[in-house]
Structure 1
Amino acid sequence: MIETKTLTCVACPKGCEVTVEYEGNEIIEIKGNACPQGQSYAEEEIVAPTRILPTTIKVKNGALALCPVKTTKQIPLENMFEAMEIIGNKVIEAPISMGDVLIENILDTGANIVATRDMPAEIK
């Protein structure tokens, strides 16, 4: 069955409204993109959507209870909830430096979870 989906392209600052007609993973037509990046974005969004995952991780003995983290590259959208569960169950010991790899190769995606700020140890 042919389906139609309208997306707001985020590949460039224009934010084109792109309409995609597709059947399963087969793209039939893409309309509305002002640049070639819009076509690539729409194809990826239909066939294999991915996202950077920004979140927080629990910190033991830190100045704060949570440290902001993100994936080092986009991961499949279908893996988001499972990745959040893994991150939510992890507790990291302070001190932490921005860029520290806190979880390697999450869900075999090739993406690491890294700290996006320094987290000093709690001052006693």
Structure 2
Amino acid sequence: MIKRELTCIVCPNGCRLVVEMEGKEIVNITGYECKRGLKYAEDEIIAPKRTLTTIVKAEKGHLPVVSVRTKEPIPKELIGKAVMELSKITLKPPINVGDVVVKNILNTGVDVIATRNLYSK
């Protein structure tokens, strides 16, 4: 039996989770104080996801870059590819917080949105 230790990041409690596995099957999860911790442990072991937060180049705006993030978490293994895709684009004003700057990044069904306004110089 393999044991993996995780720290839950869903809430401020930071529960220390222990996931016991037989092969690729979860046998037992301990250490969580709420159902959200249980779901986090299951998701983290089976299909880990992360919210990507980064910057995108901008031109003709008051800033040289605009901060962006995925609207929802995407598969962890796609983070590097998503960053590469975002490095290929350049935004032009006006951009408002919440505007979709890339729709359906890497066919994940998740949009990338602006987290900062960009206006003309």
Please state whether the residue corresponding to 1:29 is helix, strand or coil. strand
Residue type at the aligned position of 1:36: K
Matched to 2:108, the amino acid is: T
**Identical-residue share of aligned pairs (%):** 40
Runs ≥4 in structure 1, deviation > 3 angstroms?
Answer: none
- The alpha carbon displacement at 1:24 in A equals 4.5
Change (3 A) 1:95 1:24: farther
Unmatched segments (≥5 aa) in structure 2: none
What residue identity is the alignment partner of 1:107? L
Normalising by structure 1, report the TM-score.
0.91
Q: In 2, distance between residues paired with 1:46 and 1:55?
A: 25
Report the CA distance shift for 1:113/1:49 in structure 2 as closer, same or farther (over 3 A): same
Say if 2:61 is the partner of 1:62.
Answer: yes
Cα separation, 2, equivalents of 1:96 and 1:79: 25
- Residue 14 of structure 1: aligned partner: 13
Give the count of matched residue pairs. 121
| Structure 1 residues 61 and 19, CA gap change in structure 2 (3 angstroms) | same
Task: Quote how far apart the aligned CAs of 1:100 are.
Answer: 1.1
Change (3 A) 1:28 1:65: same
Supply the AA of the counterpart residue of 1:37.
Answer: R
Q: List alignment gaps of at least 5 residues for structure 1.
A: none
Superposed CA RMSD: 1.2
Distance 1:72-1:44 versus aligned 2 partners, 3 A rule: same
What residue in structure 2 maps to residue 118 of structure 1? 117
**Structure-1 separation of matches of 2:74 and 2:24:** 18
Q: TM-score, normalised by structure 2?
A: 0.93
Relative to structure 2, which stretch is displaced further, 30-39 or 60-69? 30-39
Equivalent AA in structure 1 for residue 83 of structure 2 = M
How far apart in 2 are the matches of 1:78 and 1:26? 20
Deviation at 1:62, TM superposition (A): 1.1
